[in-house]
Amino acid sequence: MDFIDQLRVLSSRIASTRSLVQTEEATKNAMIMPFIQILGYNVFDPLEVTPELVADVGTKKGEKIDYAILRDSKPIILFECKKCGSELNVNHASQLFRYFHVTAARFGVLTNGLVYRFFTDLEQPNKMDEKAFFEFDMLDFKERDVEQLKKFAKASFDVETILSTANELKYTRVIQSRLSDWMSNPPEDLVRMLSSDLLGSKRFTGALKDQFTVLTRRAFEQLLSEHINDRLKGAMMPEAPAIAAPKSTVSAAPAQTGPTETEPTLITSPEEIEAFHTIRAILRDVVPTKRIVMRDAQSYCAILLDDNNRKPICRLRFNNAQKLVLGLFNEKREEEKVAIDAVDDIYTFSERLKTSVVFYNQGSDK
């Protein structure tokens, strides 16, 4: 199983069981040890992964780091673990700061089993930075995040390679966060700059500010949606069956292309795309992901098995931005509509989605 597939399986399991994980020890066993194992390190070999490594710090004797990954008997990565759901901030990293200073490790990880924050010493040698240069979210990761995480795997771990991109990662993350804030809440200076050419000599009044703030936000959303939609279509195109009409039917081609000219333009929203990939992640251990297909329509977005309308897994009724509705199906293919607050809530219905796929996969749809 590929690296990213292993992460997706663990992500799906964490999403469905995290409510049962109530202690730090349970978090280590159910979430953090499997994560370290996926990186290629043997958690059962104390010469490779040492739990509770003793690190004496000044007058503090016998302090222990939760996990230390070793190479040639020296620590290379330190893990400070908190209970699942705990807040992660600098105050919670105090022990990690101390351990980092007295060991040979160049990387420290603060985690609650859901989020992994990676630190190093970019600002001052041998002193851990207060801000993480990389963050990996087990319930919300992208392929580019996986590529960065791979650098910490046993097979590819190289200190200089990671450090060479750490600065770029750190600043890129901050810029992405700022751009994300601007998209949802454009600052006045940005709105003023974008509207200056359009307004000409008009004074930038409060009413115009409000109007162009809404327009700027909408332009951001539409631009992002169109980019994602284009990329999704490109990614899914190889899976679509090729349609090649035989020479004898060439004369009928105009009749086939006619309807598409009058079809309304469909824009697949970022939420629908996120939901599609979430459902794929949930069902990875049941069927190959290429069998799970999204088919958008005007009133809803259908998630189907084998691109077959007779095998509906669910429907995404996300057209109303103020209300997300998930359509689930029983064995009679009757749809039950449930309201959700966020795409992440789909994980709550993992078992129902799996039951539908298993039902179709057993041939009960015939």
pLDDT, one tens digit per residue, over 280-299 is 989 988 888 888 999 988 88
Q: Are residues 290 and 148 in the same domain?
A: no
How far, in Å, CA of 293 to CA of 280, rounded?
Answer: 9
Instruction: Report yes or no on 189 lying in a domain.
Output: no
Pick from 99-108, 154-163, 324-333: least confident? 99-108
Q: Are residues 28 and 153 in the same domain?
A: yes
State residue 240's pLDDT score: 43
Report phi then psi at 338, rounded to 5.
Answer: -125, 135
Q: For residue 121, what are the contacts with CB-CB under 8 A and spacing of at least 6?
A: 100, 106, 127, 128, 129
Mean pLDDT score, 248-258: 44
pLDDT category, 118, cuts 50, 70, 90? very high
Mean pLDDT score, 198-214: 81
State residue 258's pLDDT score: 46
Q: Which of 86-100, 175-189, 261-275, 297-311 has the largest mean confidence?
A: 297-311
Nearest-CA neighbor of 100 among 83, 85, 132, 78? 78
27 vs 54, which has greater pLDDT? 27
> How far lies 215's CA from each of 53, 290, 322, in Å?
55, 38, 18
pLDDT category, 62, cuts 50, 70, 90? low
**219-236: per-residue pLDDT in tens?**
877 777 776 666 655 555
Q: Per the structure, how many domains does the chain have?
A: 2
How far, in Å, CA of 306 to CA of 105, rounded?
Answer: 48
How far, in Å, CA of 106 to CA of 71, rounded?
Answer: 12
Q: Are residues 160 and 282 in the same domain?
A: no
Q: Please determine, for residue 4, whether its predicted confidence score (pLDDT) is greater than 50.
A: yes
Q: Are residues 34 and 165 in the same domain?
A: yes
Domain housing 279: 270-361
Nearest-CA neighbor of 15 among 67, 84, 88? 84
User: Pick from 161, 178, 195: which residue ends a domain?
Assistant: 178
**The dihedral sign for the CA sequence 180, 185, 191, 194:** positive
Instruction: Report yes or no on 323 lying in a domain.
Output: yes
How far, in Å, CA of 132 to CA of 3, rounded?
Answer: 23
Instruction: Report yes or no on 114 lying in a domain.
Output: yes
% of the chain with per-residue pLDDT over 90: 33
pLDDT category, 107, cuts 50, 70, 90? very high
Q: Are residues 285 and 152 in the same domain?
A: no
Instruction: Report yes or no on 193 lying in a domain.
Output: no
pLDDT category, 92, cuts 50, 70, 90? low
**130-186: per-residue pLDDT in tens?**
888 899 999 988 888 899 999 999 999 988 888 877 777 767 767 777 787 787 788
Where residue 349 sits, what CATH number does that domain have?
3.30.720
User: Pick from 152, 178, 204: which residue ends a domain?
Assistant: 178
pLDDT category, 113, cuts 50, 70, 90? very high
Instruction: Report yes or no on 120 lying in a domain.
Output: yes
Instruction: Report yes or no on 184 lying in a domain.
Output: no
CB 17 within 8 A of CB 347: no
User: Pick from 178, 213, 247: which residue ends a domain?
Assistant: 178
State residue 2's pLDDT score: 86
Q: Which of 32-41, 70-79, 243-252, 352-361 has the largest mean confidence?
A: 32-41
Instruction: Report yes or no on 318 lying in a domain.
Output: yes
Retrieve residue 60's tokens.
């503090």
Mean pLDDT score, 73-81: 91
Mean pLDDT score, 37-59: 83
pLDDT category, 330, cuts 50, 70, 90? confident
How far, in Å, CA of 279 to CA of 316, rounded?
Answer: 11
Q: Are residues 155 and 51 in the same domain?
A: yes
Mean pLDDT score, 80-109: 81
Pick from 107-111, 211-215, 324-328: least confident? 211-215
Instruction: Report yes or no on 45 lying in a domain.
Output: yes
How far, in Å, CA of 132 to CA of 92, rounded?
Answer: 13
